Amino acid sequence: MFQNLTDKLSSIFDRLRRSGKLTEKDIDAALGEVKIALLEADVNFKVVKQFTKRVKDKAIGAEIFKSLTPTQQVIKIVMGELTALLGGERAPLTYSPKKPSVILIAGLQGSGKTTTCAKLALFLRKTDKKNPLLVACDIYRPAAVKQLEVLGGQLSVPVFSKPAGTKPADIAREAIEHARDNDFDVVIIDTAGRLHIDEDMMNEVKELKEVAGPHEVLLVVDAMTGQDAVNIAKSFNDLLELTGVILTKLDGDARGGAALSIREVSGKPIKFVGMGEKSSALEIFYPERMAQRILGMGDVLSLIEKAQSEMDESKMKELETRIREAEFNFNDFLDQLCQIKKMGPLDQILGMIPGLSGLSKVSEMSFDDKNFKRFEAMILSMTHSERTNPDLIDGSRRRRIAAGSANSIQNVNMLLKQFNQMRQMMKSMTSMGKRSKLSKFLGGKF
């Protein structure tokens, strides 16, 4: 989502670095460009104005101009203010000391509210070791209850629902009693949404809140709605006193202004972000990490967490042994592609690695599902001998592999190049010592 903004900010700071000694005029010019970049990213105008003022106030100081690294000092200030703009610190969920904790999920129709309820239930079960119950209180949207039941079934999370015609407040009341009697830790209530904010909708969700007495009231906001997301958050907060926001579709191509404006305007923290369609694609929102991503500094901590949660530990141990014995082959390469694919779109992963956020744009082959499948088809078109001993692949074998996988010889050559680069990288990592960079990268888990 933030790629365009990241590219523009990186370009601005690169020019500052080349300036050497900074003057107040240089900083004014750079902040003018930053202001334009933020406005083009659909950040609220008042937020942009306040942000650039705070940066300038801190940057225009004798200590900056006397510094040996003035540009780095300015970037550090921007980083700090951007983190503050996004909320400063992570805002964790609040749980009741007495079971069950109740989480009310509100939002407009089409924001991904029902899907987010299921994602949150899975997250709480995996990460916080909770036993969640989903509650279907959206009785208006066709098939909304069925959708929640299907999602719950896929994730093995129970769903509480009642026959058509039952009032949402009654459903919530009975669901909480059911959760208390059946040892559920958390009740997640999916409320009805509308295509726009209206009085009936707001009154109903207000009544639900009064009956359920939730410990968390989270608003689901589609990041693709841009500036309107800020207005939606303000309207819901005025009525419900929100405890936080969940931004969905942050993996899309929206400009990102909602994420940068919503905390400042509504005063409510972003607690989670949806980063894809998979049920596991819900992430804790860390303001500092998001600021690092926006400034092109990567997000290694989130990358490590993704690897630890998605990658198969036994396979990684086996791979490290094989690399040490110089046996890395196409079977291993294919297995690694599958492991990496579990972590999400590769352009997102590259964005978490410092300095590589724009790599997918300049690569000879784009990093998407289509090319994963293309790689897989070419590898599966190889014989067993070719997969275990890649050095056997000569010109005639390349032509056969290309024909067998419906690819061009150029694509086969690209695959071989990518494989050799990874094999060389793996060898160099394991030659660094007893514990390889691969193990260190994965947080010492393996």
Task: Evaluate whether residue 96 is within a structural domain.
Answer: no
The conformation of residue 248, written as its DSSP 8-state character, comes to E
Q: Within 13 Å and on the Cβ side, how many CA atoms surround 359?
A: 15
Same domain, 80 and 109: no
Instruction: Kindly list the distances between the CA atom of residue 370 and the CA atoms of 266, 346, 361, 367, in Å, as whole numbers in the listed order.
Output: 40, 12, 15, 8
Chain centroid to CA 407: how far? Answer: 33
Domain check: are 347 and 291 in the same one?
Answer: no
Q: What is the pLDDT along the chain (446 residues), one digit of tens a residue?
A: 577 788 888 888 888 777 767 778 888 888 899 899 888 888 888 888 999 999 888 887 656 656 556 777 788 888 888 899 888 888 999 999 898 999 999 988 888 899 999 999 999 999 999 999 999 998 888 788 999 999 999 999 999 999 888 899 999 999 999 999 999 999 999 998 876 777 788 888 888 999 999 999 999 988 877 777 778 888 888 888 999 999 888 776 556 677 778 888 888 899 998 887 888 889 899 888 888 878 776 545 555 555 555 555 566 566 556 555 556 788 888 877 777 666 666 555 655 555 444 444 444 444 556 777 888 899 999 999 999 898 899 999 999 999 999 999 999 998 888 788 777 766 665 554 444 444 444 444 33
Question: 176 with 167: CB under 8 angstroms?
Answer: no
Tell whether 32 and 123 lie within a shared domain.
no
Give the bridge partners for 133, in sequence order: 187
Alpha helices, DSSP H, located in 190-324: 199-212, 228-240, 257-266, 287-294, 300-310, 313-324
CA distances from 152 to 144, 147, 156 (A): 12, 8, 6
Q: Are 358 and 424 part of one and the same domain?
A: yes
| pLDDT, tens digit (0-9, with 9 covering 90-100), for 192-225 | 887 677 778 888 888 899 999 999 999 998 887 7
Task: Classify residue 90: in a domain, yes or no.
Answer: no
Whether residue 278 is found in the same domain as residue 158: yes
Q: Does 273 lie in the same domain as 157? A: yes
Residue 95 lies in a domain: no
Do 38 and 110 belong together in one domain? no
3-state helix, strand, coil in the chain (%, to 5): 60, 10, 35
Cα 348 from Cα 342, distance rounded (Å): 12
Q: Find the length of the chain.
A: 446
- pLDDT of 342 reads 66
What residue numbers bound the domain in which 68 lies?
3-85
Give the Cα separation of 418 and 284 in Å (integer): 33
SS3 state of residue 134: strand
Number of domains in the chain: 3
- Do 33 and 143 lie in one domain? The reply is no
Structure tokens at 55: 């940066």
Specify the pLDDT at position 359: 44
- CATH number of the domain that residue 252 is part of: 3.40.50.300
| C-beta of residue 148 within 8 angstroms of C-beta of residue 116 | no
What does the pLDDT read at residue 307? Answer: 56
Q: How far apart are CA 120 and CA 103, in angstroms?
A: 10
CA–CA dist 181, 288 (Å, integer) = 41
Residue 446 maps to a domain: no
Question: Is 94 part of any domain?
Answer: no
In 3D, which of 105, 180, 109, 114 has the Cα closest to residue 149? 114
CA–CA gap between residue 332 and residue 317 (Å, rounded) = 12
Residue 92 lies in a domain: no
* 66 and 130 housed in the same domain: no
Q: In what order do the strands lie in the sheet with 282-284?
A: 159-160, 132-136, 186-190, 101-107, 216-222, 244-248, 270-274, 282-284
> Can you give the pLDDT at residue 117?
95
Claim to verify: residue 146 and residue 166 sit in the same structural domain: yes
